[in-house]
Chains A and B, each alone.
Chain A
Amino acid sequence: MILLLLSCATDAEPALVALGNREQLIRLSVDLRGVHPSEEELLAIEADLDLYDQYVDRYLADPRFLDRVEEILNTRMLTRDGRTYFDPGQAGLVVSDADVADSVGDEPLKLARHIVDNDLPWSELVLADYTMADPVLAAMWDLEHEGEGWATARYRDGRPHAGVLTMTTTWLRYPSAGVNANRHRANAVSRILLCDDYLARPVSFERSQIDAITTGDPEQVIADTPTCQSCHSSLDPLAAHFFGFWWDTEDAGLDEGTLYRPEDENLWRDHADREPGFYGHPTADIQDLAGMIAEDPRFADCAVETFFEGLTQRRTTDADWEELALHRNAFSESNQHVKTLVRSIVLSPEYRARSTSDPELAERLVPVKTLGPHQLESVVEDITGYRWSFDGRGISDNAEGLAVLAGGIDSRDVVEGSHDPSVGLLSIQERLAWSAAHHVVGHDLDPARTEDAILLRYVTHETRPPDEAFEAQIRSLYVDVTGLPLAEEAREPALMAQLWTEVHTVNGDPDEAWATVLSVVLRDPHLLFY
């Protein structure tokens, strides 16, 4: 069923055509939880689209939504880059580097999770007077921490706490070269929290200005040159806040390379000599800075942009302003409540659209979204019970570089994802489907099985096409895997019967025939696209 949604135009032609009821719920569930809805949920929404609102709230309350929050914030923070920075043995840990890298990279992302899980305002990202840690990170960064899992924690080295602005992970990920005097860090703060990247601004200098930088004191030239000041007048005061984290990590030990140094806070005098400030407003310290960032309208705008892009798989442009303003209002009126923001986005007609008749919007709207590496892994695991892993690490861990091959990022060399179907992504889907199919067949057709079947509920080793059970099974597979029933007149049952027979003829093994059939269903475009 195709429903016509709200039209912003006044003429009779609809601007947006909505997805079918089932497809809307699948999109919502995959975006918020990384799995398909249950068949019961799909049947319910098929009968009554008004239930969509209720499912939004249900899925926002699902713990898997918090995983998506982490994943989306990482596209800005880029801290899941697989680095440990230090030998964990220095902290007395006997754990794998991969485990340490997981904990290190997650420090800021777990704060985001904590914020959303506890319905705190997003400004807590910079205002939190604590950090987050698990036992591994607590040992690495010497934190006060209790419990076995992730929990709030505090640094013991006397540093002020200001959310991600005072996390060791943040400043190891964004170090500062000596002469650059924390400017790299200042730009990271601006890019991540305000969505304003100084380095994206084109630089154009007169030859005489470059000559002056080369022959004179660079800091003085920067201070005296209007072209330089167009960026440095705000960048340098921002950079002045971070000298307490002025580490030379090259060859440094764990303590030397991670401990906060209050005595270095005023080192800015020896570098750019620009007092700490935030766009013309003097600041007393890094916590003062955090307060100003939290109140800067760009901070809220950036949060809206981050979640909008994360959920819609498209980059925002000026043309999106009207749409973004709606979500921005909802976000602000809720005191920066992330679930309210996400709710606003996923309830919008654009989000629920299959297509548009507006040619301008058609240039921007992404009506077919592609599973990212995390989603591909979790959707297939949810359907089949099978997780593709290598020594325990899966696609979402970027094991074997699979996440990057599937269009994801490694947060270091590859920092922008791709949602286009590539050879890498399709190869992974094909091989994952093959492996998962064998897992299901091995389980479901085991004569000694005592648990419920995963997918093959209608057939046994003895079932052969054209048994009625065969067609029932094929139709059931498409519903289980794609969430979309086949049409009555669909040719798939007949084609699958041919495929099953061909494979069985070749090797005489019904298990192999079923695995082949199931692998084809798991490679369906309705699984990859949503």
Chain B
Amino acid sequence: MTPTRRRLLQGAAAIWGATTFGAVTSRSARAARGPRKFLFLFASGGWDATPLDPKFGADGVSAVQGTDMDPQTSLGQVGNLSWSSGPDRPAMDRYFSRWNKATALCRGVNVHSAGHEAGMRWMMTGTSASSYADWPTTLAAFAGEDYPMPHVVFSGPAYAGTEGAALVRGGGGTLLELIDGSIVGRVDEPAPVAVSPVDTMADALVYERAAAFADQQSGLGRTRAEDLLATLDRTMELEGRRFEAGLGDTGSGFLDQCVMATEIMRLGLSRCAMVGIPGGWDTHGGNQNVGAQMDDFFTDLDALMTHLASTPGRDAAWLIDEVVIVATSELGRTPKFNGAMGRDHWPYTSMLLAGSGIQGDTVCGATDEGFIAYPVDLATGQVRDGGTTLGTEHIGTALLTLGGLDSEKHLPGVEPLRGVLR
């Protein structure tokens, strides 16, 4: 087991005599990290769902009445998965040809709104209520284990709910500089960077004061104070392991951030991460750019999957066996083009899930030619008369289930989409 910062602190404290370390129960008794990790990729703006839910005639090329497909596109298909293939998006062909066995598509996902803010909240939490943490925060906060950075948001949405201590927002360069302390050399009035063992001795005293503070609290105050202790522990461990992580050696692009996210998962530093998918997805006009944006995204997704499949995992042979990829957006877009060759907001969208525990080569849910969802059997994900309209809540609770949580405790009364799980 990797020595933790907390042990170093305890050692330092022991040297200095009796302290209150033992008085407070830490959540940081670290065990081998077994649960699946989750990487969320989010296209802010509401992506055009038709590339992942194409509507063509029987010949795979001709148009249908209810939906306008992008010019020069045709049906792409491998196994059960299909997409809109075109010269502006060859990476989609490449991705599905390589990774169809590890990938599932969810179609006709109801986000219950045609507004960005509400759709985003629905997509990420399965509710419209503000008190709920989003899926990755919940997965990280209730992992049953402790991570220094439970859920890191490199970019994209974040809903802390009541689990803000599990959420590390604004991840990326600044966070890394904070962790390694180098930021103090870059401010307008710089200071020398702290070095161990000075840092360790200071941390031990801070921890002792925090423990004493926690002892004085009750109710929600006690909860917050214990969160402080747990977070201090996480922060100190991060500082101690920064070199191990190799953080700071990667760039700031989408693929760089994705790889960094999976690296911190591999090192047991985080369970979840969120990375925003670059691009202008709110295409009320000029939808013709979507093909190129999809091409960029699938190029990086292909590279990410290659990285996962070729990198040894922490608890499994390969990272791809322990990391779940969830690519989504807060809205879909209208099936027909508007006057500006754009698409407006639409409450049904498509999602892509891949990796550990996902039933590959599977499509759950479906829409008709007018891009309206058919009801589905949540146990199989297949269309069924009298079934349920697939919603964000069903997929989110499926992810909680995949993560080993009892979804009923977090979103009672919602049946998970088990059809997408292996």
Contact = CB atoms under 8 A, between A and B. Distances in A.
Interface of A: 177-180, 184, 187, 197, 199-204, 207, 210-211, 214-215, 250, 315, 354-356, 362-363, 365-368, 370, 386, 388-392, 400-402, 404-405, 407, 413-416, 418-428, 430-431, 434-435, 437-439, 492, 495-496, 498-499, 502-503, 506-507, 512, 515-516, 519-520, 523-526, 528-529
Nearest to A370: B224
B174 A420 contact: no
A499 B205 contact: yes
Interface stretch (B30-38, B81-89, B179-187): B179-187
B188 A199 contact: no
Chain B interface extent, by class: 35 or more
5 contacts: A199-B113, A202-B128, A211-B372, A391-B188, A431-B181
B118 A495 contact: no
B379 interface: no
A427 B235 contact: yes
Contacts of B228: 421, 426, 525, 528-529
B165 interface: yes
Contact of A422 (B128, B169, B205, B345): B169
B220 interface: yes
Contact of A367 (B163, B221, B227): B221
A435 B184 contact: yes
The SS class assigned to the A binding surface is: helix
B184 A434 contact: yes
A414 B224 CA distance: 22
Nearest to B16: A498
Contacts of B232: 426
A320 to B, nearest CB: 13
Contacts of A178: 284, 338, 340, 344
A422 B165 contact: yes
Interface in B96-133: 112-113, 115, 117-118, 128-131
Interface string B231-243: 1101100100000
Nearest to A314: B220
A39 to B, nearest CB: 20
B155 A413 contact: yes
Given A177-B284, A392-B188, A520-B205, A368 B225 contact: yes
A203 B220 contact: no
A390 B169 contact: no
B113 A250 contact: no
A435 B238 CA distance: 20
Nearest to B286: A250
A434 to B, nearest CB: 6
Contact of A495 (B66, B205, B224): B205
A512 to B, nearest CB: 7
Given A392-B188, A405-B169, A431-B184, A366 B164 contact: no
A362 B225 CA distance: 15
Given A201-B128, A405-B174, A525-B225, 20 more contacts: A200-B118, A203-B112, A214-B66, A250-B285, A367-B217, A367-B218, A386-B189, A388-B187, A390-B187, A405-B169, A420-B163, A421-B227, A426-B231, A431-B184, A434-B194, A498-B16, A502-B197, A519-B202, A520-B205, A526-B209
Contacts of B227: 420-421
A366 B285 CA distance: 47
Contacts of B170: 401-402, 404-405, 414, 424
B80 to A, nearest CB: 25
A520 B206 CA distance: 6
Contacts of B159: 416
Nearest to B197: A506
Contacts of B225: 368, 525, 529
Contacts of B184: 431, 434-435
A423 B238 contact: yes
B21 to A, nearest CB: 13
Contact of A435 (B189, B217, B344, B372): B189
Contact of A405 (B16, B128, B175, B344): B175
B265 to A, nearest CB: 15
B22 interface: no
A175 to B, nearest CB: 10
Contacts of A528: 228
B165 to A, nearest CB: 4
B160 interface: yes
A343 B117 CA distance: 33
Contact of A503 (B115, B149, B198, B219): B198
B240 to A, nearest CB: 13
Interface in B22-77: 44, 66
Contact of B128 (A177, A199, A392): A199
A407 B160 CA distance: 10
A503 B175 contact: no
A20 to B, nearest CB: 11
Given A203-B347, A356-B219, A365-B220, A389 B128 contact: no
A418 B178 contact: no
B231 A423 contact: yes
A396 to B, nearest CB: 15
Contacts of B186: 390
B225 to A, nearest CB: 6
Contacts of A421: 165, 224, 227-228, 231
Contacts of B191: 434-435, 437-439, 515
Contacts of A184: 115
Given A214-B66, A367-B219, A431-B178, A499 B224 contact: no
Interface in B143-191: 148-149, 155-160, 162-165, 167-170, 172, 174-175, 178-179, 181, 183-184, 186-191
Contacts of A200: 118, 128-130
A439 B113 CA distance: 52
